[in-house]
A and B are shown apart, each in its own frame.
Chain A
């Protein structure tokens, strides 16, 4: 039981037997939102017994745990898969304001990829082998679309998940996308 620190297998676990509450490194889940919402609670408390305000949210009401709350169809967290990457990642579309912003984040996430803006098309390139990746997404109707065609907000609302597809496999996707005539040219990779 003596304190020891392990650095095997990429783990950097430092064991200490400190008193509870003394722990320097405390992992607290992001889901418990007490301190952020106490102010809100203060505001609503005085009204709790009289006419309930119709639109103000009360802390902890209805009593549904936080992990059950993201079940409305417009979920802002979307999964991102990249061809060849072993793990899926998740990205919060809400915190980005534009496609450029989003691509930057994806470039950070899959660190081997850098953004390459060629002819106004948005692609990510693997600097190691020059392989091009095209960001695509699945919309509410289950169709796979190229990222960037619709206004940003509309994209955020309708996007269910994303794929970084190898350019070579994105053939045919452009043809299925609606409206813009320039799409035809972008699919011949």
Chain B
């Protein structure tokens, strides 16, 4: 069969006439030329089918109405960057064929206790809508959402062919919910729980997987802080021949890990659990041959876990070091001496996470060995402002000199110099993500005493691919001037305890056209800076300002001028008639729909009134008031 019979004839269809002689080559006399509209639709649907990037699809949908409809009918993967930017029913009305959905909820600063616990981001309303419209849903990815056990049960019942469930930084459910998923989701291939807060309901959820062979490919539960029925897990692994990714929690001992590894030598990603002996071992009992277990895992490329590591066992991983592309030691409190014999073998390493316990010396070893390194994260053992700080500019400089392909870095330290940051900006031109956290607030370059302006300035100037930046240390408005001037591709920016005046924020809002996510805390930016971004807020997913100098009046003014925004305000004073008082937190985001109805509820006066609402939390303390403002589009009003 020639291709012409399957695809519409582009040449014939593009001439607007209904000239029936313009038919596809093939010479079939019974062929009737389809109408131009139909041809157009066929083309679009067939071509659009191949468009996977949501950015491409968004662009295609804006061309004209028929492209919009065709795109809506053919999109199968949905990404919702802010669960409150659009209502679930608007989504299900537009897109009919969704098989995979990703939804993000709370802003990132909620990870650091800056949001009340019942702030929102509930999965339930999305679930309700999808349970009706997307019964063929296969993949669910949620980040920073509140998910309950009931939600998991409903999802398990509503999506009979659910294959992938990934919950990142979520909370609200427990092992009860996991048991339901294990039991009911017969087609589950991927079950990943990452950095989530999961209550221990004392349920043996591992035993809930069906008894026959599973199609599990990925089982990640290292954040589940509750005991596991090991025998059941062992049997589960034994009957999961497709299992490639397994990340165990800290209740699994190294002996138990051994048993699992010899049953699953095909693993590519392994989270090693506690990596120490938790059981009582009878005197004289032989230790299993851990090295041979690792040696048998010929496909292992990603290693993590080490949650309670006994460093003596670290040498067991030598056989796989040469193949590793990713090594996460960020729970392992080990020294440089303990790291060196491992890292010197990791020639292919691209991703490395560690604790600062490895010190500058350990980082020098990384720099010498890992020439292919793309991503580095160094976390603090002691997350305090005036702790010892075993890593510094020395480690950063070493990394920049040895790891020239570096693309992403997150580095916690107690002291830093501009010179080292400038050096990194020149040595690592491929940097896309640069996040430096000098833990002491307002701390200057510890050698020169200067602000860190020049260092960060060099980063934005020399790293031309930079899209994500987090700044720290003593910073003046000049730093923001640099960012506004050079950060033309910047999408995500995180600022804390920085800047002098409103100019700082103005530089950002006026200079960075691609800015999508801006989170700022404890910086002296006020209303006039807030107004400087009015031209840009519709292009952003959100902006967060906490402990800054914006007033209630300023927030109301923004809401008034931009009807497409929702402006949420948390104010500390319950009785603030004073609109000149600084608000504690302002979180604004674009939204196609009404302000949400599920903001933290009042305990005292129901119901929630859109406009002004005050909240008291269960402790009885007048802790916070949350107010949703929306500019009056004829209906909603601000009461004062």
Residues of A within 8 A of B (CB): 1, 6, 9-11, 13-17, 19-21, 23, 26-35, 37-39, 41-42, 45, 48-49, 52, 54-55, 57-69, 71-73, 79, 81, 83, 86-89, 142, 161, 163, 165, 169, 172
Per the 8 Å Cβ criterion, residues 227-269 of B in contact with A are 227, 229, 251
Which chain A residue has the least Cβ–Cβ distance from B437?
Answer: A62
Judge whether B154 is part of the interface by a CB distance below 8 angstroms: yes
Per the 8 Å Cβ criterion, residues 317-352 of B in contact with A are 330-331, 333
Task: Check A62 against B115 for contact (C-beta < 8 Å).
Answer: no
Which chain B residue has the least Cβ–Cβ distance from A136?
Answer: B280
- Using known A-B contacts A21-B122, A27-B172, determine if residue A71 contacts B547 with beta carbons closer than 8 Å: no
- Residue from A10, A42, A55, A165 having most chain B Cβ neighbours under 10 A: A10
Task: Check A13 against B180 for contact (C-beta < 8 Å).
Answer: yes
Chain A residues closer than 8 Å to B154, beta-carbon distance: 1, 15, 17
Chain A residues closer than 8 Å to B150, beta-carbon distance: 13-16, 23
The one of B112, B158, B199, B282 in contact with A63, judged by C-beta atoms closer than 8 angstroms, is B112
Task: Check A169 against B282 for contact (C-beta < 8 Å).
Answer: yes
Measured CA separation A71–B357 after assembly (Å): 10
- Using known A-B contacts A1-B157, A13-B176, A38-B623, determine if residue A64 contacts B379 with beta carbons closer than 8 Å: yes
By DSSP majority rule, is chain A's interface helix, strand, loop, or mixed?
loop
The one of B112, B116, B153 in contact with A61, judged by C-beta atoms closer than 8 angstroms, is B112
Which chain B residue has the least Cβ–Cβ distance from A144?
Answer: B280
Measured CA separation A16–B440 after assembly (Å): 47
User: Which stretch, B5-13, B380-388, B395-403, B503-511, touches the partner chain A?
Assistant: B380-388
The one of B117, B146, B208, B278 in contact with A161, judged by C-beta atoms closer than 8 angstroms, is B278
B609 to chain A, nearest CB (A): 15
User: Which stretch, B48-56, B123-131, B630-638, touches the partner chain A?
Assistant: B123-131
Task: Check A42 against B112 for contact (C-beta < 8 Å).
Answer: no
Task: Check B117 against A35 for contact (C-beta < 8 Å).
Answer: yes
The one of A11, A45, A64, A163 in contact with B380, judged by C-beta atoms closer than 8 angstroms, is A64
- Using known A-B contacts A19-B598, A27-B174, A29-B197, determine if residue A65 contacts B179 with beta carbons closer than 8 Å: no
Judge whether B442 is part of the interface by a CB distance below 8 angstroms: yes
Which chain B residue has the least Cβ–Cβ distance from A52?
Answer: B441
The one of B113, B197, B229, B442 in contact with A60, judged by C-beta atoms closer than 8 angstroms, is B113
18 contacts between A and B (CB under 8 A): A10-B203, A14-B150, A16-B150, A20-B146, A26-B118, A26-B148, A27-B199, A35-B618, A39-B621, A48-B497, A57-B385, A61-B497, A63-B437, A64-B380, A65-B111, A81-B278, A83-B280, A161-B278
Measured CA separation A57–B111 after assembly (Å): 17
Task: Check B179 against A34 for contact (C-beta < 8 Å).
Answer: no
A145 to chain B, nearest CB (A): 14
Measured CA separation A33–B278 after assembly (Å): 30
Per the 8 Å Cβ criterion, residues 281-309 of B in contact with A are 282-283, 308
Task: Check A163 against B172 for contact (C-beta < 8 Å).
Answer: no
Task: Check A71 against B331 for contact (C-beta < 8 Å).
Answer: yes
Task: Check A23 against B148 for contact (C-beta < 8 Å).
Answer: yes
Size category of the binding interface on chain B: 35 or more
Task: Check A59 against B174 for contact (C-beta < 8 Å).
Answer: no
- Using known A-B contacts A20-B120, A64-B412, determine if residue A1 contacts B131 with beta carbons closer than 8 Å: yes
Chain A residues closer than 8 Å to B601, beta-carbon distance: 21
- Using known A-B contacts A38-B623, A88-B227, determine if residue A68 contacts B547 with beta carbons closer than 8 Å: no
Judge whether B502 is part of the interface by a CB distance below 8 angstroms: no
Measured CA separation A147–B114 after assembly (Å): 41
Task: Check B112 against A60 for contact (C-beta < 8 Å).
Answer: yes
Judge whether B477 is part of the interface by a CB distance below 8 angstroms: no
For the complex of A and B, the 7 pairs showing the least CB-CB separation, nearest first, are A29-B197, A60-B112, A20-B122, A87-B227, A64-B383, A62-B439, A29-B171
With A21-B601, A55-B386 already in contact, 13 other A-B pairs whose C-beta atoms are closer than 8 Å: A1-B157, A15-B153, A17-B124, A17-B128, A20-B598, A32-B110, A38-B572, A38-B621, A49-B524, A58-B522, A64-B412, A71-B381, A169-B282
The one of B124, B171, B279, B282 in contact with A32, judged by C-beta atoms closer than 8 angstroms, is B171
Judge whether B223 is part of the interface by a CB distance below 8 angstroms: yes
Chain B residues closer than 8 Å to A32, beta-carbon distance: 110, 113, 117, 171, 197
What mask results when residues 137 to 154 of chain B are scored 1 for a CB within 8 Å of chain A, else 0?
A: 000000000101110011
Measured CA separation A42–B623 after assembly (Å): 10
A183 to chain B, nearest CB (A): 18
Task: Check B120 against A28 for contact (C-beta < 8 Å).
Answer: no
- Using known A-B contacts A9-B208, A10-B203, determine if residue A60 contacts B109 with beta carbons closer than 8 Å: yes
- Residue from A23, A38, A59 having most chain B Cβ neighbours under 10 A: A38
What mask results when residues 195 to 210 of chain B are scored 1 for a CB within 8 Å of chain A, else 0?
A: 1011100010000100
What mask results when residues 164 to 190 of chain B are scored 1 for a CB within 8 Å of chain A, else 0?
A: 000000011110100110000000000
Which chain B residue has the least Cβ–Cβ distance from A16?
Answer: B150
- Residue from A28, A37, A71 having most chain B Cβ neighbours under 10 A: A71
Chain A residues closer than 8 Å to B180, beta-carbon distance: 11, 13
Measured CA separation A49–B385 after assembly (Å): 16
A23 to chain B, nearest CB (A): 6
Chain A residues closer than 8 Å to B522, beta-carbon distance: 45, 48-49, 58
Chain A residues closer than 8 Å to B382, beta-carbon distance: 72
Task: Check B172 against A28 for contact (C-beta < 8 Å).
Answer: yes
The one of A27, A35, A54 in contact with B623, judged by C-beta atoms closer than 8 angstroms, is A35
Measured CA separation A167–B208 after assembly (Å): 36
Chain A residues closer than 8 Å to B412, beta-carbon distance: 62, 64
- Using known A-B contacts A62-B439, A65-B112, determine if residue A86 contacts B171 with beta carbons closer than 8 Å: no
- Residue from A28, A49, A57, A69 having most chain B Cβ neighbours under 10 A: A49
Measured CA separation A17–B382 after assembly (Å): 43
Judge whether B355 is part of the interface by a CB distance below 8 angstroms: yes
- Using known A-B contacts A29-B171, A61-B441, determine if residue A13 contacts B153 with beta carbons closer than 8 Å: yes
- Using known A-B contacts A29-B197, A165-B280, A172-B283, determine if residue A52 contacts B440 with beta carbons closer than 8 Å: yes
Measured CA separation A13–B441 after assembly (Å): 47
Task: Check A54 against B124 for contact (C-beta < 8 Å).
Answer: no
Measured CA separation A71–B460 after assembly (Å): 33
Task: Check B197 against A9 for contact (C-beta < 8 Å).
Answer: no
Measured CA separation A96–B478 after assembly (Å): 52
Task: Check B116 against A34 for contact (C-beta < 8 Å).
Answer: yes
Measured CA separation A71–B378 after assembly (Å): 13
Which chain B residue has the least Cβ–Cβ distance from A79?
Answer: B278
Judge whether B520 is part of the interface by a CB distance below 8 angstroms: no
Measured CA separation A64–B381 after assembly (Å): 10
Measured CA separation A16–B473 after assembly (Å): 49
Measured CA separation A57–B381 after assembly (Å): 16
What mask results when residues 607 to 624 of chain B are scored 1 for a CB within 8 Å of chain A, else 0?
A: 000000000011101011
Measured CA separation A22–B424 after assembly (Å): 51
Judge whether B586 is part of the interface by a CB distance below 8 angstroms: no
- Residue from A21, A161, A172 having most chain B Cβ neighbours under 10 A: A21
- Residue from A28, A64, A86, A142 having most chain B Cβ neighbours under 10 A: A64
Judge whether B496 is part of the interface by a CB distance below 8 angstroms: yes
